[in-house]
């Protein structure tokens, strides 16, 4: 029977990110995905700044940006009547957001810990998945197999025995692993076999998607480049600002789901060229797993949480799951920590999953209020003002995106307040030599030292690899609130203090050992 330290069921972005993370820590894994290749469905269209920080940690930022929308293009969200300008269509209000280039300048100009290390990225999941796949295929520590279905498992005190099936031939294989990660989507077999239920609201709304190719930019970006054009009927997403588009809208009330007819009705005209790539109805959910795992088996991504796309929390929350679970599994496999640390995965990530589910629902309620405005307000100027007043928190919830913490403190949803409280994300700054502090962090743990604090107790007692970074910059030191700050592999703060007399006690707390 073949043995692998970690088996990953599911080869979407979360599963592939987990595989990449494990490899970065020197841990072998096998990933299996029942589909023969990466997805053809767009699914999501933004990778937020926090996910980009985490992708930077595993060396994938440049490759991902290479397939994204040009960095000079904006992230604007425009509310319209229709796109048919010559027939009276008009833009009602535009929420303006900087391009990647502009955001980078903003980050450098505000070096106070309030900014991300990386701007967000506009890119379709169709484009992300091949990059992630290329990053793990050929990796000597990752055995990645597409067209292989995860069928069943049994777990005991010392490991998990899994049954796999080659989809094309039906041949089965039994694999033994130390740990199993269920990244197998909303209909997760792993979650079902664990007997873990879902809480929340299923089938919240019936939607219809049309994914298509067209070079009719004069029509599809009639009011200029925008990431989203939105109306009461739905949202047109510019996937590459060139020729790939996705229309997400309410299910047509007349039941007519001819994609060309649906597209013509939303745009307000039908005289433009297009090629339909994918079109299908689907349901939105607001669901959260009652637990993120049992024993040696864990859930991550859509198997653990499912959201309405408002806010873009689906895949982005899953990337956070993958990085958190990845370093903890690696620590367990390497013998640095055991079951106590792995148990913190549920305690840390499930509250984030719940918070993001609530935020997704809150953003959807704003969309519904805007739809009521469309229904009741006939004056376009007044309608635009009403939309502006309701705001666009779904794309401005910096507290949700960067402020989530693992100490039980709830962040303000739209405001990110930098802090080094244990459990919080480490604030990002640039040092006076021009380097980014985030880029100085080690693979495992990093001890930031400000001033003349003595780090020897923490360093001597460390049961895991640790690097020390001396930050000799008085203008930056106050942001970090202590002379010693211990940073986890996922860039969350593990511990802080002005001195440390008992390093062993700190490490016992940090590694839950």
pLDDT in tens, 48-73: 999 999 999 999 999 999 999 999 99
* CATH number, residue 504: 3.40.30.120
DSSP track, 389-429:
HH--GGGT-HHHHH---SSSPPPPSS-------TTSBPPP-
Alpha carbons 349 and 299: distance in angstroms, whole number: 10
Please state, in angstroms and as integers, the Cα–Cα distance from residue 331 to each residue in 45, 439, 499, following that order. 33, 22, 26
Which of 350, 384, 399 finishes a domain? 350
Domain count, the chain: 2
Asked if residue 342 and residue 469 are part of one domain, the reply reads no
Asked if residue 449 and residue 302 are part of one domain, the reply reads no
Q: Is residue 10 part of a domain?
A: yes
**Which residues face 426 on adjacent strands?**
none
Number of alpha carbons in the 13 Å side-chain half-sphere of residue 299: 31
- 471-512, pLDDT tens digit by residue? 999 999 999 999 999 999 999 999 999 999 999 999 999 998
**Which residues face 306 on adjacent strands?**
287
Reply yes or no on whether the pLDDT at 1 is more than 90: no
Question: Once rounded to an integer, what is the mean pLDDT over residues 134-144?
Answer: 96
Asked if residue 458 and residue 311 are part of one domain, the reply reads no
Q: Using 50, 70 and 90 to split pLDDT, how confident is the model at 440?
A: very high
Distance in Å from the first CA to the final CA of the chain:
31
* CATH number, residue 175: 3.50.50.60
Q: Is residue 150 part of a domain?
A: yes
Asked if residue 327 and residue 457 are part of one domain, the reply reads no
Question: Once rounded to an integer, what is the mean pLDDT over residues 403-416?
Answer: 95
Which of 298, 315, 350 finishes a domain? 350
Asked if residue 464 and residue 340 are part of one domain, the reply reads no
Which of 327, 350, 373 finishes a domain? 350
Alpha carbons 14 and 425: distance in angstroms, whole number: 20
pLDDT at 254: 79
Q: Is residue 226 part of a domain?
A: no
The residue written with tokens 């999501």 in the block is: 44
Q: Is residue 89 part of a domain?
A: no
Question: Once rounded to an integer, what is the mean pLDDT over residues 148-163?
Answer: 97
Question: Once rounded to an integer, what is the mean pLDDT over residues 415-436?
Answer: 96
Q: What is the largest CA-CA distance in the chain?
A: 74
Q: Is residue 156 part of a domain?
A: yes
Q: Is residue 316 part of a domain?
A: yes
Alpha carbons 86 and 264: distance in angstroms, whole number: 15
Asked if residue 150 and residue 55 are part of one domain, the reply reads yes
Q: Using 50, 70 and 90 to split pLDDT, how confident is the model at 86?
A: confident
Asked if residue 295 and residue 156 are part of one domain, the reply reads yes
Reply yes or no on whether the pLDDT at 270 is more than 90: no
Alpha carbons 440 and 431: distance in angstroms, whole number: 10
Three-state DSSP at 471 gives: strand
Asked if residue 441 and residue 345 are part of one domain, the reply reads no
Which letter, b or e, does each residue of 463-493 get, where b requires 16 or more Cβ atoms within 10 Å of its Cβ? bbebeebebeeeebeebbbbbbbbbbbbbbb
Q: Using 50, 70 and 90 to split pLDDT, how confident is the model at 373?
A: very high
Neighbours of 385 (CB within 10 A): 15
Asked if residue 452 and residue 344 are part of one domain, the reply reads no
Structural domain boundaries, residue 335: 2-65+125-199+286-350
Asked if residue 449 and residue 343 are part of one domain, the reply reads no
Please state, in angstroms and as integers, the Cα–Cα distance from residue 298 to each residue in 96, 112, 188, 338, following that order. 40, 37, 11, 14
Please state, in angstroms and as integers, the Cα–Cα distance from residue 407 to each residue in 123, 352, 471, following that order. 32, 11, 26
Pairing of β 172-182 and β 160-166: antiparallel
Asked if residue 51 and residue 174 are part of one domain, the reply reads yes
User: Comparing C-alpha atoms, which of 432, 425, 444, 510 is closest to residue 477?
Assistant: 432
Q: Indicate whether this model's pTM tops 0.85.
A: yes
Asked if residue 485 and residue 342 are part of one domain, the reply reads no
């Amino acid at each position: 029977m073949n043995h692998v330290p970690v088996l990953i069921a599911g080869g979407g972005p979360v599963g592939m990110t987990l595989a990449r993370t494990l490899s970065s820590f020197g841990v072998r894994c096998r990933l299996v995905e029942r589909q023969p290749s990466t997805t053809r469905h767009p699914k999501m269209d933004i990778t937020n700044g926090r996910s980009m920080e985490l992708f930077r940690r595993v060396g994938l930022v440049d490759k991902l940006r290479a397939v994204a929308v040009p960095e000079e293009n904006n992230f604007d969200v425009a509310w319209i009547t229709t796109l048919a300008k010559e027939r009276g269509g008009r833009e009602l209000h535009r929420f303006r957001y900087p391009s990647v280039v502009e955001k980078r300048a903003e980050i450098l100009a505000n070096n106070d810990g309030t900014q991300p290390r990386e701007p967000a990225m506009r890119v379709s999941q169709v484009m992300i998945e091949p990059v992630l796949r290329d990053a793990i295929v050929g990796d000597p520590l990752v055995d990645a197999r597409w067209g292989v279905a995860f069928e069943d498992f049994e777990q005991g005190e010392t490991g998990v025995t899994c049954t796999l099936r080659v989809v094309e031939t039906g041949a089965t294989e039994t694999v033994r692993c130390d740990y199993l990660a269920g990244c197998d989507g909303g209909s997760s077999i792993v979650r079902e076999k664990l007997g873990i239920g879902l809480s929340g609201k299923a089938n919240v709304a019936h939607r219809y998607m049309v994914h298509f190719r067209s070079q009719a930019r004069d029509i599809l970006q009639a009011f200029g480049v925008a990431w989203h054009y939105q109306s009461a009927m739905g949202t047109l997403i510019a996937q590459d600002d060139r020729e790939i588009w996705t229309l997400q809208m309410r299910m047509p009330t007349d039941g007519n789901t001819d994609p060309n007819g649906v597209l013509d009705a939303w745009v307000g005209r039908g005289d433009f060229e297009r090629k339909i790539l994918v079109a299908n109805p689907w349901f939105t959910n607001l669901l959260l797993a009652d637990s993120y795992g049992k024993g040696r088996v864990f859930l991550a991504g859509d198997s653990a949480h499912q959201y309405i796309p408002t806010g873009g929390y689906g895949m982005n929350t899953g990337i956070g799951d993958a990085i958190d679970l990845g370093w903890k599994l690696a620590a367990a496999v390497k013998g640095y920590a055991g079951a106590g640390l792995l148990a913190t995965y549920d305690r840390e990530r499930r509250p984030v999953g719940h918070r993001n589910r609530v935020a997704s629902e809150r953003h959807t309620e704003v969309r519904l209020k805007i739809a009521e405005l469309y229904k009741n307000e006939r004056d376009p100027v007044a309608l635009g003002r009403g939309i502006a007043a309701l705001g666009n928190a779904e794309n401005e919830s910096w507290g949700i995106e960067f402020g989530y913490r693992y100490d039980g403190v709830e962040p303000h949803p739209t405001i990110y307040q930098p802090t080094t409280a244990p459990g919080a994300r480490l604030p990002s700054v640039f040092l006076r030599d021009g380097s980014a502090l985030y880029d100085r962090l080690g693979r495992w743990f990093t001890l930031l030292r400000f001033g003349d604090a003595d780090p020897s107790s923490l360093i001597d007692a460390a049961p895991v690899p640790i690097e020390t970074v001396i930050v000799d910059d008085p203008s930056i030191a106050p942001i970090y609130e202590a002379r010693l700050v211990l940073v986890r592999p996922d860039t969350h703060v593990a511990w802080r203090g002005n001195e440390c007399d008992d390093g062993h006690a700190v490490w016992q707390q940090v590694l839950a050992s």
